Structure 1
Amino acid sequence: MEKTYQKVASGPVSKAVNSEAYSTFKKLVMNENGHVRFSWKTGDSKKETKGEVSNKSEKVIESIDVAREQQRVVIDSVEDGEITLETTKQKGNYGEIKMDDFFENQTYTRISDDRVLTLDQKINKGIDGVYENATPPPKYVIAEAKYNKAQLSNTKDGLQMSEDWILGSNRLEDAVGQELAEMIRDEMILNPENVQSLLIRIDENGNVTKSTLNSFGKIDK
């Protein structure tokens, strides 16, 4: 799998990490596990003009586009037969990359951290993806990607993707931050139709199917 790592590491993301886009309005951070996190830059209280904010916003959009482009490189390499998924980690990461691609080719934007960009990244435990919909309802989607026949797990907080699991052990806060987590929690109480939990299954041919989950983490019939 060295070929995969070299192809991804030398691609557009490595160039983006060194670009000006991440030193201003928002920055992209790749940690030691290869996970990408978008974080707000703090400590600069200088008031900015609308033009300055607009320019920086455009750079943020460009950085997200770079990440999505890198994900497409991985998807195409797998689905063209150039790379074979050999390990559970690779299959899980491919599933998460496909899930991002599935949502972001619609009206959704990923708002959670730890976007997966390579097949050999360390698996990040917690919520796989949280997305905001530009055409609600639902306004927010909390999603779990499963490759082929992989199943949701039972945990000390209950079944994976149940409401107890999502809200337990600070998973939602870890995924989107305290402020967004509080907004999503409020929507779950006041406007439950605005928050949807989905299971995204990716088969061996790369086909994607989605299933709506109830508050217990079970598929709605």
Structure 2
Amino acid sequence: MGEYQADQFMASKGYTKLNHNGELIDPLTKAKGKGIDGIWHDPGPPPKYIISETKYGSSKLGKEQLTGDWINKNLDSAISDEKHLDAIQKALDKGTLEKQLLRVDDKGKVITEIITKK
């Protein structure tokens, strides 16, 4: 349910999902599992791309999650669009890729935290 809430939250902000073939998580479907939870394109001013990881309740990020190495390891299998893939990689290399932790509480509220770890 957490990934569903997070996807709805990001879509409501006008972001377009790029991974999972652009499909938002369905509330009746199980979470997608390991890897990047969300790769988002922001049509507005920078940041143009956001990588998100969703955690429910008090769950914590894994030690490597949202680091540059972790994103590099998971990016190719998460998105097939070469144009976006190249742009995301450039943003990651430049340090302009936004990384967000989307924490979903037990009432379904999404709290966003910008992650700055290298």
Question: CA distance change for structure 1 residues 165 and 206 in 2, over 3 Å: closer, same or farther?
Answer: same
Higher helix share: 1
User: Which residue does the alignment assign to 2:101?
Assistant: 199
In structure 2, C-alpha distance between the alignment counterparts of 1:134 and 1:122, rounded to whole Å = 26
In structure 1, C-alpha distance between the alignment counterparts of 2:92 and 2:3, rounded to whole Å = 24
Displacement, 1:178?
5.7
Scaled by the length of structure 1, the TM-score of the pair is: 0.48
* Cα deviation 1:80-127 (Å, max 9, x = unaligned): xxxxxxxxxxxxxx1111111111111211111164214452642100
Question: CA distance change for structure 1 residues 130 and 102 in 2, over 3 Å: closer, same or farther?
Answer: same
- Spell out structure 1 runs of 4+ moving beyond 4 A: none
- Unaligned 5+ segments in structure 2 are none
Identical aligned residues as a percent: 30
User: Which residue does the alignment assign to 2:72?
Assistant: 167
Equivalences for residues 47-126 of structure 1 within 5 A: 94-113=1-20, 115-121=24-30, 123-126=32-35
Contact 2:36 2:52 in 1 (8 A): yes
In structure 1, C-alpha distance between the alignment counterparts of 2:92 and 2:31, rounded to whole Å = 31
The structure having more radius of gyration, on CA atoms, is: 1
User: Which residue does the alignment assign to 1:182?
Assistant: 86
Aligned residues: 115
* Structure with bigger RCO (C-alpha 8 Å, 6+ apart): 2
Tell me the C-alpha RMSD between the 2 structures: 1.8
SS in 2 for 1:97: helix
- Unaligned 5+ segments in structure 1 are 1-93, 217-221
Scaled by the length of structure 2, the TM-score of the pair is: 0.86
